[in-house]
Structure formats: structure tokens, C-alpha cells
Amino acid sequence: MSNIVKVAAAQLQPAFMNLQGCIDIAESAILEAGRHGAKLIAFPETWLPGFPVWTFFETGWKDPRHLQAYAHLTANSVEVGGPETDRLCEAARKAGINVVMGMNERDTRFSRGTLYNSLLYISDQGTILGVRRKLKPTHGERIIWGEGDGSSLQAYDTTAGRVGGSICWEHWMPLNRFTMHALGEQIHVAVFPDIAEHNMIASRHYAFEGRCFVIAMGMVLRRADITEDFGLPIDMLTSPSKTSDRDEFVLAGGSGIIGPDGRWIVEQKFYEEEIIYADIDLDDVSKGKLSLDTAGHYNRPDVFQLYVDNRRKDPVNWSVPMAASTEAKIQTVEKQTEIPGLIFKQ
């Protein structure tokens, strides 16, 4: 029985800060990847509706430009279980493809005012498998996003294999990496704004250490496609990638697909809008773990123990449970996970 799976990386420019425009592009890309026979398609970090590139330049809490930009981002962020995720689910169902989507997520359970840097997982049946929220926003990102908790540390069994993911500098968090390795990923989606050299190193290292395939995702964003009508200081924006002097780009992409040996299957692509495809053999995951299984036989649970609190941390506990229409669309894993050297508390 063949274990070869086609996967896709959607290095496409979003309709920046325009959620409905982004959903239109995403639907088209999902359907196109399905027609090409892909079983999984991944999108970059906060692709819905784009990475808030001003966050490392404009963080003043009274700066009217920052306030206006944040309000615009909030209005164009995603509510899980809302009409935008319904459209993505329907596209995934029609295409028969699993989707991992980077998004700015707006909390719907409590204040409705907090945003999260999140990954949305959708099955090829059009059901929401789960949402991962970034555990620790990086540096100036803490002005924009709240912190996730351990409840979203999950890997999901799909028709493309066992799929998980992490967001940007979570790939430099050793205990996060170990936790995800212990969950038995075959395919890991590593999302970034774009993939500069240090992000590339992190992605290749993750593939080798975890003995899994890594879809490394970066975003293409041109300066000309950012407008000032929602407060951005355009003259301050430069490319974080530093890979080229192409001033017309704010984000340079750099997406590619990496094998369990840490080598590129599809080399990085910069400054291009493209859906990148690769045929991967899931048997290579098992072959790689013969010599290195960091959460298995190459671990010493008698010496090292990692405790993971994967309970959801709610800011309010109601004596009478509130309606959970959104949560009803999210499948949760209730069973206790037992892995040597790793303890999940539920």
C-alpha cells in the first residue's frame, strides 16, 4: 500500500487586511490544490488577513495610527465557527483536501476584544479539527496578540497523515518542539511571516530532530499592496527577511518543503506567488526514526521528565455554562495521552 502523499504550500499574497478578499483567494487555492491531487494545503502565519507588519515599528498605546491599524485588524480577523471558516470548510470538503490556515483569530468566548496568532486545522470532510494559538507572541507582537495555552498542543490524524504545526519562534522553544515530537507528527507545518535564514535553520532543524516532513511557509507581500487608509506608517516598513534589496517587497516568501533528513525536497522560493507541490513518502518518517526518535527510544525518561499542562485556561468559569455554538464545531481530544518522558495533565 502506497504511503506517498501530495502536499501543497500556498505562497500567495493575501488581500492585505481585507478578510473577505483573503477568503476568496483561499477558496480558489484550496480548490486548485484539490484538482492537482494534493491531500494537504498549508498557508503562512496570520495569512488571514495578513501579518501586522507595523507591530515592530508602531507600538505606542496612544499613537492614533497604531490604534486605527489595530481596530482595522480586529474587524478583519477570524471568528472560528463564523461565516468565513464555514466557507473554508466547504472549500476543503469540495476539494477533498485538508487545510492548515494561519490566521488572526478574534476570541468569541469572553471579551471579544483579544486577538490570537492561530493555526486553523480543517479536515478533507470540511470539519474543524482544532485551533492552535501561539504560546508566546514574540517581542513587539505582544502588543497585538494574547497568549495561547497548552490545550491546543495537538497533532491530528488526517487522510494526509498525522499533522501538527507551530508558529514562527515557537520553533526555538525546545520544550514545545519536544512536546510536538512526542505527539507523533508525520507532517509539521512551520509558519512564519517570511523565511529568513534563521527561520530556515529552525525549519530544517525541526525536520531532522522530529524526523518528520516540514512544510515551511512564508508570505509574499508587496509594499504597493499596503495602503494607508487604516493607519500604517508605510515609510517605516522594510523587509524583515533581509535576503534581497528588492524594496518593493515587505515580506519575501521563502516557502519550501523539507524531508525528515533535514534536506530540501522543494527548495525555498522567494518573491514569487505560487502553490508549491511535493510528493512525500510517509514511510521516510519511520525510516528516519530508526536512528533518532527524540521522544521515543532516543529519550531517557528515567533522567528527563517534561510535564505539559494541556488544560484550557479560561479567564472566567461560569456557574451555569454559557452556550458554546462555536466550540461545537471543534472536535477535541479527550483521551489521556501517555508517552514516556512526557506527562499531559487534563
Catalytic residues: 45, 134, 168
Q: What share of the chain is helix, strand, coil (3-state, %, to 5)?
A: 30, 30, 45
Residue 264 is given by DSSP the state E
Residue 143 is given by DSSP the state G
Q: Give CA torsion, residues 205, 208, 210, 211, to 10 deg.
A: 160
Distance CA 3, CA 286 (A): 11
How would you classify residue 201: left for phi > 0, otherwise alpha for psi between -120 and 50, otherwise beta?
Answer: alpha
Which residues are paired to 185 by β-bridges? none
**Chain centroid, CA 341 distance in Å:** 26
Q: CB-based burial of residue 57 (10 Å sphere; 0-12 exposed, 13-18 middle, 19+ buried)?
A: middle
Distance CA 5, CA 161 (A): 8
Distance CA 278, CA 42 (A): 12
Of 153, 269, 259, 279, the residue nearest 207 (C-alpha): 259
Q: How far apart are the first and last CA of the chain?
A: 36
Is the distance from CB of 230 to CB of 54 less than 8 angstroms? no
